[in-house]
Structure formats: C-alpha cells, structure tokens
Amino acid sequence: MDVMILAGGLSHERDVSIRSGRRVQDALRDRSTRVSVHDVDMALIPSLREGGVDVVWPLLHGESGEDGSLQALLELLGLRFVGTASKDARVAWTKPVAKSVLGRAGVDTPDFVTLPQSLFREVGAEQVLDAVAATFGLPVVIKPARGGSALGVSLVTTRDALPRAMVHCFAYGDVALIERAVAGVEVAVSVVGTGAQARALPAVEIVCEGPYDYDARYNPGRVEYFAPARLTEAQRDAVERAALETHRVLALRDLSRIDMIVDEQGVPQIIDINIAPGMTETSLFPQAVEAAGLDLGELYGEILATAAARN
C-alpha cells in the first residue's frame, strides 16, 4: 500500500503538524506500506496526480486541514483518504456549530455564546462584557470559534482581564466563543472507527500545573498524564459514551479525539472535537493507543486499510 501523509500547511499549527507527520511515518516504518510525507503546496496536486498513491492521510492541524477544505480537494480529485468527509469536517471544526448539533442530540457541552468582533464594535464592548460576566459568572473561557492547540484560549477569572482576553482571541479570528468554565477532571477520549463500528480507547487524564497551553502541550514537564484516566467505572462509561455519541452525531470517520471535562456532578462536558488529533511524542491519541495495549503501527495500518477500502 502506498500512503501519502500530508503535513505542514500554512496554519498556526504547522510545527505540530510536521511533527505529527513524522511520528506517524515512523510508526509505519516496519510495515509493508510505503509512506511519503508531503506539504500542502504547489507541488501537491502534481504529486497526487502522478498516481500510485492508494490512500492519503491528512495530518494537518488548524484551518484548511481540519476545516474540510483539504478534504474537499481530495474528494474532488477522487482520492481515498483517512478521516472525516469535508462537509462533516466543516461542522466539527466550527466550535459553536458543533456545540449546537451536539446540544440538539442531547450531548452536554458547556453553556456558551458566540460573538463576532463586529458586535462588540457596534454595541459597545464594555456592556457586552458586563452581560457576559453577569450571565455566565466568572471564570469563563474565551477561545477562537475555530482553532487548535489552545492558541488564543484564555481562562478569565476577573472582569478586568476580559478585554485583553478578547483581544488575544481576536488575533486568531473574527469570531469568539465564550464558554462557562467547567471545573473538574479534564480527559481526552480517542475514538477509532466509523458509525456503529466506532470504539473508544481508554480516556487519558490531563493534570496540568497552570494552563494547559501550548508550552504545557509540547514541552514535557508541567503536565501529568494518566492513561487510563483515574475515573470510577460509571464515569468511565459516561465519558466513553459521550465520546462515541459525539463521534457518531457529527458523522466523524476513522478516528477522532474528543476532549471533555468531567464536571463535579460526574457529567462529561464536551469542550473540543479534533478530527485530525495531534500525533506527536506528547500527544494524547498515541498515549491512548498505548494504554489500550495496542501497537501504534498496527492500529495506523488498520486505519489506513479501512480508508483505502472505502468506496
């Protein structure tokens, strides 16, 4: 089987994507697959057209890789690829849209409001922020409506800190998602498969000194991971059910990572959906695979085989 991994791209997460691409390539090294890694640039379409590629694995994080554009291109070229189809990717990538879809299906996500920068300009930022603080109380989490690797995300505990958090967020995009901060245990549940065949891998728990930000994610030390997560049996069932439900409701394909916080009542609140989860040395998906006692290369091989066999 000939596999082309797509990694790099022009998003803010280029760096992470390149590392993910290399790790997946490494894991597949001893298998009977031929794996190349390609950036998304002018040379991509000619390389794909040359033929010989059985399946493409887009490992791009951030816009264009996760927002469905790249998937649309692959569909246009009639290529088989790993992961969610373009139209579903677009929904999963836009946090407020995904949250609404999940909400309708009865999956819990933290209360939120989506506000574009233009609204603050038109009606006055202070008044909007006052209303936010009054309705949600503090702390709240401010994040770009589309984004990843915690870029542009702030946990805001005081009213004074709200304006700067908004400025920080709008540097990454025009629309902000303001969400009630959930206290509890943060876990990431990786899901493999599609539809009724999807299964959840053991939840990985994240315990972080300070914010779980870019540094915490990619520079080992501040985060302690527990794989499997230290949950009661009931909580474990609940997080797995929530992850699988999210994966199905959003029509995610092949693999995903669903991030959530198990709140003080033991209810998993979904905070983020990743259709191209990070695959670096410090990423959660590979940790979950190991915790399940599976071999990375074998699992990646199965994911590729499924995608290659798809009509």
Ligand X SMILES: Nc1ncnc2c1ncn2[C@@H]1O[C@H](COP(=O)(O)OP(=O)(O)OP(=O)(O)O)[C@@H](O)[C@H]1O
* Residue ranges that bind another protein, judged by CB under 8 A: 10-16, 18, 41, 117, 120-121, 125-126, 149, 151-152, 163-164, 166-168, 170-172, 205, 207, 213-215, 218-221, 223-227, 230, 281-282
For ligand X, what does the binding mask look like between residues 173 and 212, x meaning CB under 6 A?
Answer: ------x-xx---x-------------------------x
Residue 300 binds what, of ligand X, another protein, none (CB under 5 to 8 Å, by partner type)?
none
Among 274, 280, 283, 287, binds ligand X (CB under 6 A): 274
By CB under 6 A, tell whether 84 contacts ligand X: no
Q: Which is nearer to ligand X, 37 or 138 (CB)?
A: 138
Q: Which is nearer to another protein, 100 or 117 (CB)?
A: 117
Among 8, 58, 68, 148, binds ligand X (CB under 6 A): 148
The closest of 66, 84, 57, 53 to 14, measured between CA atoms, is: 66
Residue 286 binds what, of ligand X, another protein, none (CB under 5 to 8 Å, by partner type)?
none
Closest approach of another protein to the CB of residue 310, in Å: 31
The closest of 285, 77, 85 to 200, measured between CA atoms, is: 285
Q: Distance between CA atoms of 170 and 105, rounded to whole angstroms?
A: 30
Q: Distance between CA atoms of 140 and 155, rounded to whole angstroms?
A: 6
Q: Which is nearer to another protein, 148 or 193 (CB)?
A: 148
ω into 202 cis (within 30 of 0): no
Instruction: Calculate ∠ Cα 231-236-242, nearest 5°.
Output: 130
What does the DSSP assignment read for 267-305? -EEEEEEESS---STT-HHHHHHHHTT--HHHHHHHHHH
Closest approach of ligand X to the CB of residue 155, in Å: 6
Q: Which is nearer to another protein, 189 or 291 (CB)?
A: 291
Q: Which is nearer to another protein, 177 or 250 (CB)?
A: 177
By CB under 6 A, tell whether 153 contacts ligand X: yes
* Residue in the structure block whose two tokens are 């302690």: 224
ω into 139 cis (within 30 of 0): yes
Q: Which is nearer to another protein, 157 or 310 (CB)?
A: 157
Closest approach of ligand X to the CB of residue 17, in Å: 11
Residue 107: helix, strand or coil by DSSP?
coil
Closest approach of another protein to the CB of residue 34, in Å: 26
The closest of 116, 168, 177, 99 to 141, measured between CA atoms, is: 177
CA 206 to chain CA mean position, Å: 15
Q: How many helices (H) and strands (E) does the chain have?
A: 12, 13
For ligand X, what does the binding mask look like between residues 223 and 262, x meaning CB under 6 A?
Answer: ------------------------------------x-x-
Any idea of the CA torsion for 201, 207, 213, 217, to the nearest 10 degrees?
Answer: -50
Binding site for ligand X (CB under 6 A): 110, 141, 143, 147-151, 153, 179, 181-182, 186, 212, 259, 261, 271-272, 274
